């Protein structure tokens, strides 16, 4: 039995029996953790668990080899979202993001990339009109962390490059419509497209946004200025690809899809 003191993200909270909770956490070094909090549902008691999914807390716990559940010794601190950050779109995506990480993270496996991604998203604090750029960026990074990064360098069928560098070392993308093959993550130009593919449509503007994401180590303020019509379309496509590749069906998918498909 080993004792750890970690920062962990609260992932899910499930009622258990009359007054207890089963809680999943994300630890950077130990991956997904589960624990029973006895008396956690009791209000204003020493055993109550006051935190919510998505919050970052300090936790001391015992971990025994070959056991699925850890034993929580102590929890403290709270680094949640401030109330002004919870516009409806942000709240829905916040719930969706935590649910996705809970479904695809694994017990016992280091989760540096997912942990860093949640850290980056927690630090993000912008107005609601810039939401789709951060949403697209987060979805793209989840795919990248899971080994499902998109290959946008050329058409998967004819091998024609989708872009080239101009003399100023800036990318210039072909004025061509592409399709993303959900089975491979490769792009296919309109000339080579076949109806049998399971695909989503990619414009040159969307390819350029992906290129910008790939060129940055973290979310940049300049991404806020990306046109929402393109970042929203990109978020919609990346989400469809993500659900397909990870083979998941989050409970909050319907609410999130409603935001991505809205015309407002």
Same domain, residue pair 69 and 99 = no
| Residue-level pLDDT at 64 | 85
Tally of domains within the chain: 2
Q: What sign for the dihedral angle of Cα 54, 139, 117, 23?
A: positive
Q: What is the CA radius of gyration of the chain?
A: 21
Which token pair is 91?
């709240």
Residues 66, 122 within the same domain = no
Same domain, 173 and 69: no
CA distances 261 to 130, 133, 228, 235, 238, Å, are: 16, 15, 13, 10, 13
Q: Determine the longest span between alpha carbons in the chain, in angstroms.
A: 68
139 and 46 part of one domain: no
Sign of the CA dihedral 58, 60, 64, 65? positive
Domain boundary among 63, 80, 97: 80
Same-domain status, 51 and 128? no
Give me the residues of the chain with pLDDT under 50, please: 128
pLDDT given for residue 82 in this prediction: 55
- For the CA atoms of 155, 260, 24, 56, the dihedral, rounded to the nearest 10 degrees, stands at 100
In this structure, the answer to whether residues 131 and 225 fall within a common structural domain is: yes
Residue 73 shares a structural domain with residue 139:
no
Claim to verify: residue 17 and residue 100 sit in the same structural domain: no
3-state secondary structure of 35: strand
Answer yes or no: are the C-beta atoms of 86 and 95 closer than 8 Å: no
Expressed as residue numbers, the domain containing 126 is 88-260
How far apart, in Å, are the Cα atoms of 12 and each of 34, 113, 182, 192, 193? 9, 19, 29, 44, 41
Q: What is the CATH number of the domain that holds 155?
A: 1.20.1440.120
SS3 at position 123: helix
Q: How far is CA 123 from CA 118, 140, 159, 200, 258, in A?
A: 9, 18, 40, 31, 25
- Residue 155 tokens read as 């058409």
| Beta carbons within 8 Å of 247's beta carbon, 6+ residues apart | none
> What's the pLDDT at 262?
85
Q: Are residues 56 and 108 in the same domain?
A: no
């Amino acid at each position: 039995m080993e004792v750890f003191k970690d920062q962990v993200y609260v992932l899910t909270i499930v009622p258990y029996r009359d007054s207890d909770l089963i809680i999943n956490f994300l630890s950077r070094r130990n991956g997904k953790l589960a624990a029973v909090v006895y008396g956690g549902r009791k209000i204003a008691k020493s055993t109550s668990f006051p935190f919510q999914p998505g919050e970052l807390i300090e936790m001391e716990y015992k971990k025994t080899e070959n056991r699925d559940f850890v034993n929580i010794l102590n929890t403290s601190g709270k680094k949640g979202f401030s109330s002004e950050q919870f516009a409806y779109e942000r709240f829905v995506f916040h719930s969706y993001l935590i649910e996705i990480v809970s479904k695809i993270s694994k017990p016992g496996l280091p989760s540096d990339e997912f942990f860093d991604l949640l850290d980056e998203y927690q630090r993000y604090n912008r107005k609601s009109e810039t939401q789709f750029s951060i949403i697209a960026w987060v979805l793209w990074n989840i795919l990248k962390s899971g080994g499902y990064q998109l290959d946008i360098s050329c058409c998967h069928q004819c091998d024609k490059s989708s872009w080239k560098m101009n003399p100023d070392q800036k990318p210039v993308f072909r004025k061509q419509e592409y399709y993303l093959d959900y089975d491979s993550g490769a792009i296919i130009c309109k000339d080579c497209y076949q109806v049998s593919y399971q695909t989503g449509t990619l414009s040159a503007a969307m390819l350029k946004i992906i290129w910008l994401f790939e060129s940055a180590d973290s979310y940049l303020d300049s991404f806020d200025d990306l046109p929402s019509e393109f970042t929203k379309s990109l978020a919609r496509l990346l989400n469809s690809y993500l659900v397909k590749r990870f083979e998941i069906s989050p409970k909050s998918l319907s609410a999130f899809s409603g935001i991505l498909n809205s015309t407002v």
